[in-house]
Amino acid sequence: MTASKWNAGDHNKFTIITNGTLINNNMAKFFKKYNVRLQVTIDGDEKCHNAQGKSKNEKGTWGKIIKNVHILQKYNTDYNIRCTVTNNSPALSEIIKKFKENKINNVFLSLSPRTV
């Protein structure tokens, strides 16, 4: 079934897990219209995430993801953040503080013993 055959008012519920780097205004509006929830993955704070999450040009992606989450917020698109916390991550209080500073409050923390 293609999205064009769905009714925007249907009670379908789909979830997409994404790193969030490709989200844009059109996608956010589409996901909102068709009741699609996004789970955006981030690995800890900016420093920790960027040590692992690099784009093709070797730049960190944390800032781009945060900007794209703000696009989801702008269109009231259903989303949450899944933040992986490792032994190389800063204290949980620092990670939570960073999300709050960026007005991101819907965060799931995934605690992992793995190292970067």
Strand order in the sheet with 79-85: 14-18, 36-42, 79-85, 107-111
pLDDT digits (tens, 9 = 90+) for 53-107: 665 666 788 999 999 999 999 999 999 999 988 887 888 888 889 999 999 989 9
The distance between the two most distant Cα atoms of the chain, rounded to a whole number of Å, is: 47
**Domain residues of the chain, as ranges?**
13-111
CB 54 within 8 A of CB 9: no
In the predicted structure, residue 7 carries a pLDDT above the cut 70: no
CB 9 within 8 A of CB 55: no
